[in-house]
Amino acid sequence: MNMMEKWLLLPGDPRREKKIAAILPAICLLGLVVFSFYLCLQEISSIKSENQFLRMDAREYISLADNLYEGKGYRMSEGLCVTSGGTAFRAPGYPVFLLLFRWLYGKDKFLMAVILYQNLFFCLLPLIFYWLTFNVSSSRLLSLFSAFLSVFFEPLRIMANIIHPESLAFFLLLLALGFLFSYLGAKRTTKLLAFSIFLASAVMVKQNLLLVLLVFLFPLPLMLKRKATIIAFIFPLLFFSAWLVRNSLVLHKFPVFSTITGLSFYLGNNPAVRMDMSNVTGYKSTMNDLFKQGMTEVEADRQLWKKGILFIKDKGLIWYFYRMRGKISVLFRDYYPLAKNGIFFGLLPFAFLMKKRRRALVLLIILQIMYAFFIYAPRFSLYDLSLAGVLDVAILNLFGIGSLLVLAWGKNMKALLVVVTYLLILLPMIITIPSDRDKIVCDALLIIGYALAPMVLKEMVASPLPDFKTDD
């Protein structure tokens, strides 16, 4: 069959349907990437000053990158931990990332270059979420649904426009999960090594991801043979050993991964600090105050751990229980109240279950557009209309967590791994400081679960719809 005959296959021909099934997702994904890129450009064009990039702890990371560039070593000149020598307050991955752009683009342009590349990573998320969801469900339809949702999770897009490691760390973490899932389908050592290096890199970029390595205790041993588990642990072992040895040599104490943990534990359990951290500014000089008393960085870190434990002992376990419950309530509040689309996203998974789901989906979208015009009053532009369709955080948590738990209970090991990863990112925030930035990363993982909600609901209600699963 020549090329012309291949493209002129008659409607209804199985070969034509197979070709369409293979090409259509690629076209849709390309469209989502282009649309996401357009939205990112609109966001960036609204930025009037580089100071808009420098929220939260951004200046600390820039200080680390500047000192590395100027040959002064890995130390901070401003921020929560100002030292005259080397520091281990922050993990080195993101400062090295900034340093690379400082070399390539110079002092005046590197911040904008970093933001552009972080947005580029965000634009690639539809491809990654499609990849991950397809590995869990084998459904092209639901995988496209996942890719679509990733474009409309606005909090993650906002993260791409600040100088902070969460955006890069999440991108690396998703790549790690993708290569692991891919390895489980085709046992190639290169994919396992890719999982290893991306996971190690993600943790070195964001120290809060350190507990994710506990997946090597559970559930990875259930998914990988012993030899494969050892191979997967190669790069975390190499990266962390080098970092710990460096800390031991520079700080002259028992090597620590990151000395920010003591301060976080102290602030998170200090009765004077509100659980939503709204008055934390007055306590941010705590570590620098200990330096003035003659303590080293490691000594100050240990002292803050001790103070945090003393707070718990003095107040008692009942107080600590209520303290953790309060942190959980802060983490699961609606941190993006601008999105008022709970009804739409609450009904959306059920629309997939309708016998005439195309009509149901079209009707639901039309109702949402009408609702958006009354509630949001957007201007007649694609960008403003997209903001009126932002994914609702509360509904994302409800369907995302619920679907993943149901699938994990049904012994879907990939869904189980996503659940465990979610919990391991969430746990440090309950023990130390509740952070919206880290919660956004947690919630973004739930996009996979939300996208699989129609499949889970279908199995629960025994809908007569055709099976969602398709051949590879």
pLDDT digits (tens, 9 = 90+) for 184-215: 998 899 999 999 999 999 999 999 999 999 99
Q: Average pLDDT, stretch 422-437?
A: 95
Residues 133-145: tens digit of each pLDDT: 999 999 999 999 9
pLDDT at 467 over 90: no
pLDDT tens for each residue of 315-330 = 999 999 999 999 999 9
Average pLDDT along the chain: 90
Kindly state the average pLDDT of the residues 430-434.
Answer: 94
Separation CA 111–CA 277 (nearest Å): 28
Return the DSSP state at 216. Answer: G
Indicate if the pLDDT at residue 275 is higher than 50: yes
Which of 125, 161, 137 has the alpha carbon at shortest distance from 47?
161
Tokens 């957007």 sit at which residue? 378
d(CA 116, CA 109): 11
pLDDT at 2 over 50: no
Q: Which residue, chain included where needed, has tokens 């279950």? A: 353
How is the chain split into domains, by residue range? 258-331
pLDDT confidence of residue 47: 80
Mean pLDDT of 64-91: 93
What local confidence, expressed as pLDDT, does residue 8 receive? 37
Q: Are 381 and 331 in contact (CB under 8 A)?
A: no
Where on the phi/psi map is residue 348: left (φ > 0), alpha (ψ -120 to 50), or beta? alpha
pLDDT (0 to 100) of residue 9: 41
The rounded distance, in Å, linking the Cα atoms of 111 and 30 is 28
Average pLDDT over residues 301-308: 97
DSSP letter for 56, please: T
Q: Is 245 exposed, middle or buried (0-12, 13-18, 19+ CB in 10 A)?
A: exposed
CA nearest 268: which of 432, 429, 425? Answer: 432
Q: List strand residue ranges (DSSP E) for 288-354, in order.
A: none
Non-local (6+) Cβ contacts of 168 within 8 A are 93, 94, 97, 118, 121, 205, 206
Quote the pLDDT of residue 469: 55
Q: What is the pLDDT of residue 14?
A: 60
Is residue 203 within 8 Å of residue 209, measured between CB atoms? yes
For the entire predicted model, the pTM comes to 0.92
Amino acid at 327: K
pLDDT at residue number 1: 46
- pLDDT beyond 90 at 374: no
The pairs formed by 157-160 with CB atoms below 8 angstroms and a separation of 24 or more are: 157/39, 157/40, 157/43, 157/119, 157/122, 158/43, 159/437, 159/440, 160/40, 160/115, 160/118, 160/119, 160/121, 160/122
Closest by Cα among 160, 75, 146 to 138: 146
> Could you give the CA distance from residue 267 to residue 279 in angstroms, rounded to a whole number?
10
